[in-house]
Amino acid sequence: MSPARILSRQALAGLARDRSVLILVAFFAAMVLVTAWLGWSATATVNAIYADAAAYLSGAGQPVPPNPVSTSAPLAVLRNLGVYISLIGAFGAIVIGQHLVEADRRAGTLPLIGAGPFARRDIALGKMRALVTATAAMMAVAGVIALGTLLTLPSLVVTGPDLGRLALFLLAGWAYVTTFGFLALGAAARLPATAAGLIAATVVWLVITFVLPELTANLHPTAAINPVTTLAATPDAGVFHLFSALLGPVSLAEGFAWLSGDLLGFLPEGLAPRGLVPPALALSVALVLSGLFAAQAATRLDLNAGGPDA
């Protein structure tokens, strides 16, 4: 077994035994279930309202429009999933990323690892591999629950292409959360003070989620976490068009929201993504860049620092 794989397995075993990581993953799974329930509730409520309204309209001799639920894409019931991935999933990845460095630092095992017969590169690769696996596991949990929801809701007809789009959506979600996980891993490796990596990565995430959408589209923070209101057109003012073009590629939360809307079928017709770079490309580039940052920082990690009160 390669050193990177040994280190990765050890790190994953550590993650699986850390209570705060487990609680966050359970919280994420619970919220994905809530998404399922919200999807069911939304469908059932609109169906009931439609039945009431249809009875009134036919009684009044007026034409009855089609049920809005039947005209929307089946995957749209999962629209909240994108929001929870970008909130809880990203934060979970940040916690995992910082834990991969902090746990060794606090346990005082960094010098022991550093004295092992392998290259610094292997240490970085081992940690990154553990992160990538852990975030993939989170997305797998989300995928299983999402699939269960789609198959349980009787009014939905899910086709093969729909499942393909769901898989692509989960892949985009994985890329999005892993980007923040890499950031946290790199920040924790660079900043030795306790929780400094966690706080630094959280600040970046906050700016991307709540500040950039204000600059690109005058989207207030609460609108930025609503799957429907976040998909708003850029206001018709020169400044917003300029910011949208400049910041669009780094406004990853908006990019992920746009991709979610596109893949799950609730994107308003004709809504263009912010900036000229397609969101899928922007997310991929962000993942690669954050991965490089994590690799560089973890390779240069100070292996002498550590101990319970580090």
Binding positions for another protein, rule: CB under 8 A: 19-20, 23-24, 27, 31, 34, 38, 41-42, 45-46, 48-50, 52-53, 56-57, 62, 65, 68, 72, 80, 83-84, 87-88, 91, 95, 102, 106, 194-195, 198-199, 202-203, 206, 210-211, 214-215, 218, 220-222, 225-228, 235-237, 239-240, 266, 268, 308-309
CA–CA dist 123, 260 (Å, integer):
34
Report the nearest approach of another protein to the CB of residue 173 (Å): 16
Nearer to another protein, 237 or 305 (CB): 237
Report the nearest approach of another protein to the CB of residue 169 (Å): 18
Report the nearest approach of another protein to the CB of residue 81 (Å): 12
Could you count the other beta carbons within 10 Å of the beta carbon of residue 88? 21
DSSP 116: S
Report the nearest approach of another protein to the CB of residue 89 (Å): 11
Nearer to another protein, 103 or 128 (CB): 103
* Alpha helices (H) in the chain, listed in sequence order: 3-17, 19-59, 68-71, 79-84, 90-107, 110-114, 120-152, 160-190, 196-206, 212-217, 221-224, 238-247, 252-264, 279-299
Could you count the other beta carbons within 10 Å of the beta carbon of residue 78? 28
- Residue burial 107-124, b: 16+ Cβ < 10 Å; e: rest: eeebeebbeeebeeebbb
Report the nearest approach of another protein to the CB of residue 103 (Å): 10
Report the nearest approach of another protein to the CB of residue 96 (Å): 11
Nearer to another protein, 220 or 300 (CB): 220
Nearer to another protein, 179 or 202 (CB): 202
- Please enumerate, as own/partner, the contacts of 107-110 that have beta carbons within 8 Å and a separation of 24 or more: 107/306, 108/306, 108/307, 108/308, 108/310, 109/306, 110/301, 110/302, 110/303, 110/304, 110/305, 110/306
Report the nearest approach of another protein to the CB of residue 29 (Å): 13
Q: Is residue 53 exposed (0-12), middle (13-18) or buried (19+ Cβ within 10 Å)?
A: middle
Nearer to another protein, 28 or 169 (CB): 28
Residue 72 exposure: Cα atoms within 13 Å on the Cβ side: 23
CA–CA dist 126, 115 (Å, integer):
16
> With the C-alpha atoms ordered 143, 146, 150, 153, is the resulting torsion angle positive or negative?
positive
Nearer to another protein, 91 or 169 (CB): 91
Nearer to another protein, 225 or 297 (CB): 225
